[in-house]
Amino acid sequence: MLHRESGIFKTSYPADMALYPLPIAKWAVAAFAGLFIVIVPLTLGEYYVSILDLILIAIVGALGLNILVGYTGQISIGHGAFMSVGAYTAANLVVHLGAPFWVTIPAGGLMAALIGALVGIPSLRIKGIYLAIATLAAQLIIEWTINHVPAISGGVQASIQVPRPSLFGVQLKTQTQLYLFLMAFAVLAIVGTSNLVRSRIGRAFIAVRDQDIAAEIIGISTFRYKLWAFAISSFYAGVTGVLYTYYLGIANYEQFQITVSIDYLAMIIIGGLGSILGSILGAAFVTLLPIVTRWFLESFGGLIFSQADLANIIPNLRLILFGGLIIFFLVVEPEGLNRLWRNVRNYFRVWPFSY
């Protein structure tokens, strides 16, 4: 993560596939884990932890979407709806059966995976923009279904109250407790994805992405792997939905409308397609950018504008800045924040020499 190798000395495939190329990488990961699992929740205030909570949830969803879009080269504008599938599955399990979170989270994920695989079937025939429209249809169909089937939505309000998760009899209520809860799943998602993409399945995904005809010729079943990609990706989305449900204490499909799908696409495009670090950076970037721009305008906008005008200027200017910064980052580095970070690293790898 933060290390500088002096060269590439790998002589075997296991060495090439190793999660930690050098011992120092392991220490860096341990240091990061210590920072975020021990130091951050102990030192940061509740408000800042609540922002991190939203980022952690977004990381899980962004990783899932990146498996589909970044690694397999398919597209989905229906991830918001897959999240709602997970959310309502979990909410119904909690309300009707009193299921604990270690049942509802995999169940929500599996249900979303099932629906996602179904939606993925057209991907065998159609590609690119056509597939995008097919998944858009899924988004709308799922929204409509939840809105109109009381057995799923729990009544005309289409929202189901869900108590906060409990662990060993302790209900996780404070932001810090929820932070640790969400952190566990974000870590699972990160480790799971980084292992997935180095495995046979992950390599098959990449082969399908790079050239699906060639992949088929060398013996990869595109049928199977495209559906796997949709299923795995939707599983992540479903888990994201369940985490949202637990975090907010309610399942409500209006939280998972098409803008959410677009937000997640923005995260992985800004962060970097086909990269785990990119998903994390993108999730953090998209979540933090509006907050930071608002904070900035609140702190310094008062010097230029009156307080009453500011209330109107901040939200509008924030949208303009948000759009502008996204364009800026994409122009500066179309391959995303992950590539920017690698450029910085490569620069320092040989520093202070230029080659």
158 binds another protein (CB under 8 A): yes
- Token reading at 115: 């629906």
147 binds another protein (CB under 8 A): yes
Binders in 189-248 for another protein, by CB under 8 A? 247-248
Put residue 219 in one of left, alpha, beta given phi > 0 → left and psi -120 to 50 → alpha.
left
Q: Which is nearer to another protein, 24 or 310 (CB)?
A: 310
> What residue type is assigned to position 39 of the chain?
I
The site string for another protein over 167-186 (x = CB under 8 A, - otherwise) reads ------x-x-----------
User: Which among 310, 244, 197 is positioned nearest to 60, based on CA atoms?
Assistant: 244
Q: What's the closest the beta carbon of residue 267 comes to another protein, in angstroms?
A: 12
Give Cα 14 distance to the centre of its chain: 28
Q: What's the closest the beta carbon of residue 196 comes to another protein, in angstroms?
A: 27
Which one among 89, 104, 240, 287 touches another protein, defined by CB under 8 A? 287
Give the position of tokens 């991907």: 123
Q: What's the closest the beta carbon of residue 51 comes to another protein, in angstroms?
A: 6
CB atoms within 10 A of CB 239: 29
Binders in 295-334 for another protein, by CB under 8 A? 299-300, 302-303, 308, 311-312, 314-316, 318-319
CA–CA gap between residue 67 and residue 38 (Å, rounded) = 29
DSSP state of 2: -
Give me the helices (H) in 272-335, please.
276-300, 307-332
Q: Which is nearer to another protein, 55 or 134 (CB)?
A: 55
> What residue type is assigned to position 322 of the chain?
F
Q: What's the closest the beta carbon of residue 15 comes to another protein, in angstroms?
A: 42
Put residue 168 in one of left, alpha, beta given phi > 0 → left and psi -120 to 50 → alpha.
left
Which one among 24, 50, 118, 325 touches another protein, defined by CB under 8 A? 50
Give the position of tokens 């005309």: 156
Q: Which is nearer to another protein, 204 or 243 (CB)?
A: 243
96 binds another protein (CB under 8 A): no
Q: What's the closest the beta carbon of residue 204 comes to another protein, in angstroms?
A: 34
Q: What's the closest the beta carbon of residue 282 comes to another protein, in angstroms?
A: 15
Q: Which is nearer to another protein, 168 or 300 (CB)?
A: 300
Q: Which is nearer to another protein, 100 or 323 (CB)?
A: 323
CA–CA gap between residue 210 and residue 259 (Å, rounded) = 28
CA–CA gap between residue 183 and residue 40 (Å, rounded) = 12
CA–CA gap between residue 340 and residue 344 (Å, rounded) = 6
Q: How many residues does the chain have?
A: 355
CA–CA gap between residue 310 and residue 88 (Å, rounded) = 39
355 binds another protein (CB under 8 A): no
User: Which among 222, 200, 201 is positioned nearest to 211, based on CA atoms?
Assistant: 222
- Token reading at 290: 């509006």
CA–CA gap between residue 294 and residue 124 (Å, rounded) = 44
Which one among 46, 211, 224, 324 touches another protein, defined by CB under 8 A? 46
11 binds another protein (CB under 8 A): no
290 binds another protein (CB under 8 A): yes
- Token reading at 335: 């391959």
249 binds another protein (CB under 8 A): yes
Which one among 7, 23, 45, 352 touches another protein, defined by CB under 8 A? 45
Q: Which is nearer to another protein, 185 or 228 (CB)?
A: 185
Number of residues that bind another protein (CB under 8 A): 39
Q: Which is nearer to another protein, 253 or 329 (CB)?
A: 253
Q: Which residues bind another protein (CB under 8 A)?
A: 45-47, 50-51, 54, 147, 156-159, 161, 164, 173, 175, 247-250, 252, 254-255, 259, 287, 290-291, 294, 299-300, 302-303, 308, 311-312, 314-316, 318-319
